Amino acid sequence: MKSLNNENLSLNISTKIYMKNRLLLESKEYLKVFKNQNCLIVLDDYIKNNKNKLNYIKKSFKFIKKKTIIFNDKFEPTFTNLKEIKKNINNKKKKYGLIIVVGGGSTIDIGKGLSVIINYNGNIEKLQGVNKFNFNTIPVITIPSIFGSGAEITPSAVFINEKKKVKGGINSELVQPKICLIDPYFSLSNDYKQQIICSFDSLVHSIESFSSTIGNNFTKQMAMLGCYYVLQGIKILKNNDLEGLNKIAEGSLYSIISLLHSEQNITGASSYQLALYFGYKHAHCGASFLHKSIELTSSKNSKFLKELLLFLKNKKIINRPVASDLVKLLKKIKKTFKISDIKLNEKEIKFLVPKIKNMKMLDFSPFKYSKNDISYFLKNE
């Protein structure tokens, strides 16, 4: 809940969050009240071909007798995608009392979207926005398979409306997952590159929300912890996968909690337009442009990120409490994991600048963006 009415503090984290290695094998303990429900399990498509992970999921939810499993292969999902999935599900003519969704941010968005629309016959596009409906949704349990988006606890299901050219959330407390089970052991994977790209999403959430004008002591502490844990996790990931993933998962939670109570900035705003018009994935936008946001913000006024940089220096993440050290670290991480930046041409930049400038998200930035600022931001040499 953002402090939009000048409250000194407003807190709302209603999803119950549990984190532990091999936690899923104990799901029965956490989901007792749902065990007799007819359950729809939405899994990320990659799990279909990964026998170990699929068996782990099947074993974990064996205690739920009535269940249907479906797979999602859509990234940056559109309303058309959501409608297609709904159609396939409704063909099975079952009444679901629970949705368990296992996957990355896009699959979790699909799961949350289905919780709203499975039993709804109206125009789905009209639900996009804030509190556009008040009917009951199906309870959702989230299990992130990769960490960074924070979708596992947000009261929002994000979709692209292709006709209106809008990417935005169905935002309502009724969309908020009931329980989030985090099992870093389940998320172990050799695809470090993808894990790092996703963790950049979380760094955007923490670093950009840190300087938001609607932030407060709580969001700043969460942002600093989030940023620290994610960077610490990235540092140790290759030597100690499980410990590294635990840190990234924890940091990712703190980062999204900060963001939920404040706002992100130019990287967050731009990633919406980049997905909408050029199909770039959200987390990859974060990895490509976050360093530009840090450079720009600290060049406007070094005090905006000062406390965060000092915290990272004290935690021995960077050597000096300066923006250039953090930028250097992010670039080094991208080089190590072979993550290449999105490069836009002049025409694309010119097209995007006014669209980004008009985004409401930037109203809570610590400074006002000029067109030149946004052009500079989008230019990745």
For Fe ion, the binding residues (CB under 5 A) are 201
CB of residue 271 to Fe ion, shortest distance in Å: 7
CB of residue 145 to Fe ion, shortest distance in Å: 16
Q: 92 by DSSP, 3-state: which?
A: coil
CB of residue 99 to Fe ion, shortest distance in Å: 22
For Fe ion, the closer of residues 77 and 321 by Cβ is 77
CB of residue 151 to Fe ion, shortest distance in Å: 8
Q: Which of 226, 303, 231 is nearest to 262 (CA)?
A: 226
For Fe ion, the closer of residues 76 and 201 by Cβ is 201
For Fe ion, the closer of residues 152 and 201 by Cβ is 201
The percent helix, strand, coil of the chain (3-state, each to 5) is: 50, 10, 35
For Fe ion, the closer of residues 244 and 268 by Cβ is 268
Hey, what long-range contacts does 334-338 have (CB within 8 A, 24 or more apart)? 334/196, 334/287, 337/192, 337/193, 337/196, 337/197, 338/193
SS (H, E, C) 209-237: HHCCCCCCHHHHHHHHHHHHHHHHHHHHC
CB of residue 333 to Fe ion, shortest distance in Å: 17
Q: Which residues of 139-167 are buried (b: 16+ CB within 10 A; e: fewer)?
A: bbbbbbbbbbbbbbbbbbbbbbbeeeeeb
For Fe ion, the closer of residues 111 and 268 by Cβ is 268
**10 Å Cβ neighbour count for 271?**
27
Q: In the bound complex, which residue of the shown chain has the CB atom lying closest to Fe ion?
A: 201
For Fe ion, the closer of residues 86 and 282 by Cβ is 282
CB of residue 146 to Fe ion, shortest distance in Å: 13
